[in-house]
A = this chain, B = another copy of it.
């Protein structure tokens, strides 16, 4: 059984808050507390947790450590997944720098570019390969996820190469919608849309 997309997102968000609470020395949390940390209701939290089959200590709230582990069992791959960043410009660099070392189960282990001045450079310990070696490196290093940060006008072409290289999941930062076969999971991570949405709701408030 696969979970609803929104539930997966919320679980990822919950986990971060839970880890934060653990660091602060807490051991348990109530559904309404977790709800308050997110923009969410206690029922929704309980429903999400029900989905993953975890049950709490009655009346004590959820055990933070246990819940974090259960979410990990759901979200993470046991051996972790390897990730590559394609196009190491302003955004690609920021993303790489930021992510390296953050999530133990998602490792950025390679970057790719066509700019010869960037090739072989190392950013936060991650080496930049020429795009021409994409397929070879993806295979050798078992990379399953690509983060696409190339210019919009090469996005389609590079995506074709990623498909060819047998990538399994793709997070698209560019502003053009991509086309991939259905077995590849694609997330359109679109800043312009999000900003325009904010602008719309600023202009036309809900209530």
Q: Which residues of A contact B (CB under 8 A)?
A: 2-3, 5, 8-9, 12-13, 16-17, 20, 37-39, 74-77, 81, 83, 90-91, 93-95, 97-99, 102-103, 105-106, 144-145, 147, 168-171, 175-177, 182-183, 185-207
Contact = CB atoms under 8 A, between A and B. Distances in A.
B12 A177 contact: no
Contact of A192 (B12, B94, B185, B207): B12
23 contacts: A2-B204, A12-B190, A12-B196, A13-B177, A13-B190, A39-B177, A74-B200, A75-B196, A77-B199, A81-B202, A90-B94, A90-B98, A91-B98, A99-B195, A103-B192, A103-B196, A105-B199, A145-B198, A171-B195, A182-B207, A183-B205, A187-B194, A189-B191
Nearest to A71: B196
Contact of A198 (B39, B74, B187, B195): B187
Identical copies in the complex: 2
A10 to B, nearest CB: 8
Given A90-B98, A97-B90, A12 B197 contact: yes
A105 B198 CA distance: 13
A81 B203 contact: yes
Nearest to A20: B176
Nearest to A102: B192
